[in-house]
Structure 1
Amino acid sequence: MAQEIERKYLVSSDEFKAQAAKSVRIIQGYLSSVPQRTVRVRVKGDKGFLTIKGIGNESGASRYEWEKEITVEEAQELLKICEPGVIDKTRYLVDFEGHIFEVDEFYGSNQGLTVAEVELTDEAQTVHKPSWLAEEVTGDARYYNSMLMKQPFTQW
């Protein structure tokens, strides 16, 4: 089984954009958003993906993840039968001191929210944080995309 280990942070400024090596628009929905297993459908640029994630561990930093590339057409068809709500964001990839930070700038009902995630090889791994990172929100379910779909940031 694939194990995903990551930390999530709020972003305090848009300084990251000047440091980004790449950006891509992402539209995603959920076939299942229950915490025990989320099933996500995503159109990421010119590719489609189907992803299954398990429940996180106690810290919220680790959980099972399985992902399969599908065609954009298949993803668009699956988006039609997803639960209500959609996540619309641009993801920026920023290399900082040996780590790739995935910075998501949200639109629509999550406008105004920007979060950064960094994948780790183990939970105890040290992360050197860029100046534009703010409070760590790892394990805070409000910031899970599956929850932002149900309880958008603009409604908090």
Structure 2
Amino acid sequence: MREIERKFLITSEAFKKEAYKRTRIAQGFLNTHPERTVRIRLKGDNGYITIKGKSNKSGLSRFEWEKQISLNEAKELLLLCERGIIEKTRYEVLVGDHIFEIDEFMGENKGLIMAEVELNSEGEVFTKPEWLGQEVTGDIRYYNSQLSLNPFKNWK
């Protein structure tokens, strides 16, 4: 139940041609406390509740627990969430042995495109595609919980 991932900004939309899957996501947060977040997510036709702990010093690793719930439960729980529902399209791209999840944000976070790659260890080596840009792992501004509170449109 430990999640190890690295996050990057995207330099072009070339990843869209390489994507094998595309899914609409809406998510909100019941709790955005820095020590723990509780997220409700609609992903396609499925609902999920996720609890994440505080990241370690490097920002690469943290506790994560997720459980699938019914779509109706997720929709009802989204109504209880804090302000700032995140809307995005997730593209999945296989690069080498790793799947990159690229989120193209909409709404108040339009213009932000970010990739995540999950790893088995913090030092794991992976192939970096040409469209992968600056690493933002550990920068809390890019956490979805923080984007719900301080959207990308406000950064400029």
**Is residue 136 from structure 1 mapped to residue 135 from structure 2 by the alignment?**
yes
Q: Deviations over 1:32-78 (max 9, x none)?
A: 00111100000000000000000000000000000000001000000
Could you list the runs of 5+ residues in structure 1 that have no partner in the other structure?
Answer: none
Q: Quote the residue 1:13 is aligned against.
A: 12
Paired with 1:154 and 1:84, the residues of 2 have a C-alpha distance of: 15
Considering only aligned residues, what root-mean-square deviation do their CA atoms show, in Å? 0.4
Paired with 1:127 and 1:34, the residues of 2 have a C-alpha distance of: 31
| Contact kept? 2:97, 2:126, Cα under 8 Å | no
Partner SS state of residue 32, structure 2: strand
Percent identity, aligned pairs only, is: 57
Partner SS state of residue 92, structure 2: strand
Following TM superposition, by how much is the alpha carbon of 1:98 offset from its aligned partner in structure 2, in angstroms?
A: 1.0
Partner SS state of residue 34, structure 1: coil
Q: Deviations over 1:63-103 (max 9, x none)?
A: 00000000010000000010011100000000001110000
Report the AA paired with residue 76 of structure 1: K
Q: Quote the residue 1:30 is aligned against.
A: 29
| Contact kept? 2:42, 2:48, Cα under 8 Å | yes
Report the AA paired with residue 106 of structure 2: Y
Following TM superposition, by how much is the alpha carbon of 1:17 offset from its aligned partner in structure 2, in angstroms?
A: 0.4
Partner SS state of residue 146, structure 2: helix
Which ranges of 4 or more aligned residues in structure 1 deviate by more than 2 Å? Answer: none
Q: Quote the residue 2:115 is aligned against.
A: 116
Report the AA paired with residue 82 of structure 1: C
Paired with 2:47 and 2:121, the residues of 1 have a C-alpha distance of: 28
**Is residue 59 from structure 1 mapped to residue 77 from structure 2 by the alignment?**
no
Q: Quote the residue 2:101 is aligned against.
A: 102
Following TM superposition, by how much is the alpha carbon of 1:128 offset from its aligned partner in structure 2, in angstroms?
A: 1.3
TM-score (norm 2): 0.99
TM-score (norm 1): 0.99
Following TM superposition, by how much is the alpha carbon of 1:127 offset from its aligned partner in structure 2, in angstroms?
A: 2.0
Could you list the runs of 5+ residues in structure 2 that have no partner in the other structure?
Answer: none
